[in-house]
Amino acid sequence: MPVKMLTVVGARPQFVKAAALSAAIQKLGGIEESIVHTGQHYDAQMSDTFFTDLHIPAPLVNLGISGGSHGDQTGRMMQALEPVFVDQKPDLVLVYGDTNSTLAAALVASKMKIPVAHVEAGLRLYSGMEVPEEINRVLTDHVSTLLFCSSYVGVGYLGVEGITANVWDVGDVMLDTFQHSLTRTSSKPLSALGLTEDSYCVATIHRPDNVDDPKQLVATLEALDALCPPIVMPVHPRTSQSPAFASWAADRRPPYGALRLITPLPYLSMLSLMQRAKLVITDSGGVQKEAYWLGKPCVTHQRWTEWVELAEMGVNALTGGDPSNIRPRVEETLLRWQAKPFPTVAVYGDGHAAEAIVQRIKEWYASA
Ligand code: UD1
């Protein structure tokens, strides 16, 4: 009998991760996967293009739950997920990362005594639970039965918290998707924007720390706008929906600064753009790692990074969340990188994380 698994996703980075696992399940068999989409990210640009371009199977159900406060959103997701789990009777519920969708599914499943598998387990900031994603990931890890870490760092953190059973460093499923997609990138997205290779930077800013406080957001946009042009910024909906962003963008007059604001890109276009950029500036977890895999210098505009391996290797310069540090970090990073391109070490596995996860799930099920 195949393992009956429900995968719960809701946000863009989870679609990128789910693509790798669904492909590995189709290749290796032994698991019958159905996808439940909570609807946290719902539009064509943030959701549909990912399912189409990355060949993710259509969701069994889309719960259509987005917006609202954290409590409201998580609560509505829990209410909607419970009847789906009752109806489907899965052997396992699998979740990715640290969104409200992750936590809602993990709580509902664990209370129904359905084992939970957590992919990207053990990621920590140890920031005193200041960041909503940290709360989601810590709680999810502590109710999970199977824990798949992206590197050795996660295994160590889980050990410190007393979680040692069924914990594996399998590598990062985002690397699997990245590697499978590299042959499908092209220079078309650049040409469409009138850009040439190595003549521009890519920026993404969407974390609550940078977006929720209007002063921080405007100072960040000003700092990016004051850099050498062009800085191409696909604007995340959380950013574009901020009134501070809307009034800043509306007040812009010629001569314009460095920023070129565009709508969120499909995954392959985003990879194509980063692949040919001079430098990446971001507060995105996924974009930090992709810049590294592409061998691109990266400045991370955050107080902390979850991906400590990159900071420790010195390939990822942190601004500490201070917009006035963006320019000096960019200048130092470019100088260092021109002197000696950064190394690319295989800390996130070999691009076969999803296959390792499928294998471990089947072994666990066979021995249960
Ligand atoms: C983070 C949080 C996650 C949170 C999410 C909100 C971590 C560990 N987690 O993910 O809990 O829900 O922010 O979004 O970091 N991309 C495109 N087109 C674009 C921009 C990005 O395809 O225009 C792709 C990137 O190439 C990458 C992925 O989207 O593959 C990254 O998604 P992003 O929304 O930046 O989320 P994260 O910061 O990775």
CATH code at position 74:
3.40.50.2000
Residues 218 and 295 in one domain: yes
| pLDDT given for residue 258 in this prediction | 97
Minimum CA distance residue for ligand 1 atom 30: 286
Residues 56 and 142 in one domain: yes
d(CA 92, CA 147): 12
In the block, tokens 């009034």 appear at 247
| pLDDT given for residue 368 in this prediction | 86
Residues 28 and 63 in one domain: yes
| pLDDT given for residue 235 in this prediction | 98
Residues 199 and 155 in one domain: no
Q: Is residue 177 part of a domain?
A: no
User: What range defines the domain where residue 30 resides?
Assistant: 3-172+349-367
> Which residue, among 28, 52, 96, 127, has the nearest Cα to 361 in the 3D structure?
28
Backbone region of residue 73 per phi and psi (left: phi > 0; alpha: psi in -120 to 50; beta: other values): alpha
Residues 198 and 241 in one domain: yes
Residues 23 and 85 in one domain: yes
| pLDDT given for residue 341 in this prediction | 79
Q: How far is CA 339 from CA 288, 316, 335, 336, in A?
A: 21, 16, 6, 5
Q: Is residue 49 part of a domain?
A: yes
| pLDDT given for residue 33 in this prediction | 98
Residue 270 has which token pair? 């985003």
The ranges of the chain with pLDDT < 70 are: none
| pLDDT given for residue 91 in this prediction | 98
Most informative mutation of 8, 9, 12 for ligand 1 (most atoms within 8 A of CB) = 12
Most informative mutation of 66, 207, 284, 293 for ligand 1 (most atoms within 8 A of CB) = 284
Most informative mutation of 287, 293, 304 for ligand 1 (most atoms within 8 A of CB) = 287
Residues 19 and 102 in one domain: yes
Residues 128 and 26 in one domain: yes
301: CA distance to ligand 1 center in Å? Answer: 14
206 is catalytic: yes
Residues 216 and 319 in one domain: yes
Residues 73 and 142 in one domain: yes
274: CA distance to ligand 1 center in Å? Answer: 14
Q: Is residue 157 part of a domain?
A: yes
d(CA 117, CA 105): 11
Enumerate residues lining ligand 1, CB below 6 A: 11-13, 16, 97-99, 123, 133, 204, 206, 234, 264-265, 267, 270, 284-287, 290, 306
Q: Is residue 344 part of a domain?
A: no
In terms of Cβ atoms closer than 10 Å to its own Cβ (0-12, 13-18, 19+), residue 165 is exposed
> b vs e for 23-48, b when ≥16 Cβ sit within 10 Å of the residue's Cβ?
bbbeeeeebebbbbbbbbbbeebbbe
46: CA distance to ligand 1 center in Å? Answer: 10
Residue 90 has which token pair? 């899965």
42: CA distance to ligand 1 center in Å? Answer: 14
Residues 228 and 161 in one domain: no
d(CA 261, CA 143): 41
Domain count along the chain: 2
Instruction: Evaluate whether 54 touches 267 at the Cβ level (below 8 Å).
Output: yes
Minimum CA distance residue for ligand 1 atom 6: 11
Residues 114 and 77 in one domain: yes
